[in-house]
Amino acid sequence: MADKKIGWAIVGLGEFATKQLIPAFGVCKKSKLVALVSGHPAKARRIADEYGVDPQHIYNYENYDTLRDNPEVDVIYIVLPNSLHADFTIRGARAGKHIMCEKPMATNVKDCEAMIVACQKAGKKLMIGYRAQYEPFNLKAIELAQSGALGKLKSITADHGRILDPSKPLDKWRAQKELAGGGSLMDIGIYSLQAARYLTGEEPIEVSALIHSTPNDPRFKEVEETVHFTLRFPSGVLANCTSSYGYHDTKRFQVFGAEKTLTLDPATDYYEHKLILEGEDGKQELKIKEENQFALEIDHMSECILENKTPKTPGEEGLQDVKLMMAIYESAAKGKPVKIR
Ligand code: NDP
């Protein structure tokens, strides 16, 4: 059992799957890639060949459900455009497989709930791909924020931005509400939201938000450009978060305590994080070993399957973010704060 590797199928061979996730299996200790699901057979064959996947284990979106007949596949990883997550999760669970699903879990609360129920009914595990919660720099930041090392926490700021370019395939669907569900908030603002939640270890009780999209910019006909949102936490911590498809690459957060300020910038990049602590005694960069966060999160799910444990970021974690993002949109639409029940 100790040597057993869990078999994974990847669904959707896009940028993220091919450049980050699939190569990460090379350093996974408990997980192996055994199947691919794609709408492009030639691409799937090329990737299967490169990573040693049996060409018999290539599926498409139509015969996806026949994964049920492949005993080598234990878990299915959904890496499709956001609004397709729910359908493929539910079908995957019905095919008797555990599910890992990319963020955002789905584009509405009802779909998230249906995904959780489908996995429960099938007796299968559901994990959301919140890689930052497995990444060593973020884990250190959480430890420092929650241990009192910064003094009493007062404020958090978190910013995630990049320029949306729908001429690229990976951004074409991101500009379409039907596939993306929303704009910068759903795609990258979710990292700011996650950070505020995992740094405090608390759930917000109120949100307020403003949204702006450049008028007449065709990229923002269907999805929003910039979102600013404030979260109020029960302890009194306030988090000011932003996301934008209009400002340049930014992936950072700061935690302001009574005694020290912690800056992680970049915070949620794939590699090369930088963690700075600043206080009365000056500024200090904390050196931590970079690790392959994709391998860490994939192996975490495999370990949960092998040892029958609940994943650290289960479906309920994804559902909570989607509920909060809906409250953020509601606050911006109504022009007033929204209380969270
Ligand atoms: P891409 O557009 O690069 O890949 C999506 C893939 O989904 C496509 O290549 C295609 O695969 C498949 N697909 C199936 N139906 C459609 C459709 N109607 N339109 C477009 N693609 C379709 O996107 P990303 O890889 O950037 O994102 C995929 C998911 O991963 C998203 O949910 C995103 O939020 C998440 N993500 C998470 C990241 C993280 O750090 N956790 C980082 C980046 C993305 P094929 O050609 O094989 O059929």
Summarised one tens digit per residue, pLDDT across range 84-112 is 999 999 999 999 999 999 999 999 999 99
Is the pLDDT at 2 greater than 70? The verdict is no
Q: Count of alpha carbons within 13 Å of 317, Cβ hemisphere only?
A: 25
* DSSP three-state, residue 188: helix
Is the pLDDT at 144 greater than 60? The verdict is yes
Architecture of the CATH domain 136-288+322-339: 2-Layer Sandwich (3.30)
* Pairing, β 126-128 against β 98-101: parallel
Burial of 303 (0-12, 13-18, 19+ CB in 10 A): middle
Q: What is d(CA 170, CA 160) in angstroms, rounded to the nearest whole number?
A: 17
| Statement: 6-131+294-310 belongs to CATH 3.40.50.720 | yes
> Does any ligand 1 atom lie closer than 6 A to the CB of residue 162?
no
Kindly state the average pLDDT of the residues 57-84.
98
For residue 1, the model assigns a pLDDT of 55
pTM exceeds 0.95:
yes
Extract the runs of DSSP E, i.e. beta strands, from 39-148: 58-59, 75-78, 98-101, 126-128
In percent, the amount of the chain with pLDDT more than 90 equals 99
Give the start-to-end residue ranges of the domains of the chain. 6-131+294-310, 136-288+322-339
> Does any ligand 1 atom lie closer than 6 A to the CB of residue 173?
yes
- Ramachandran bin of 38, using left for φ above 0, alpha for ψ from -120 to 50, beta for the remaining angles: beta
Summarised one tens digit per residue, pLDDT across range 19-41 is 999 999 999 999 999 999 999 99
> Does any ligand 1 atom lie closer than 6 A to the CB of residue 165?
no
Report the residue among 10, 11, 13, 16 best suited for mutation to probe ligand 1: largest number of ligand atoms under 8 A from its CB: 16
* DSSP three-state, residue 334: helix
φ/ψ of residue 283, rounded to 5: -115, 140
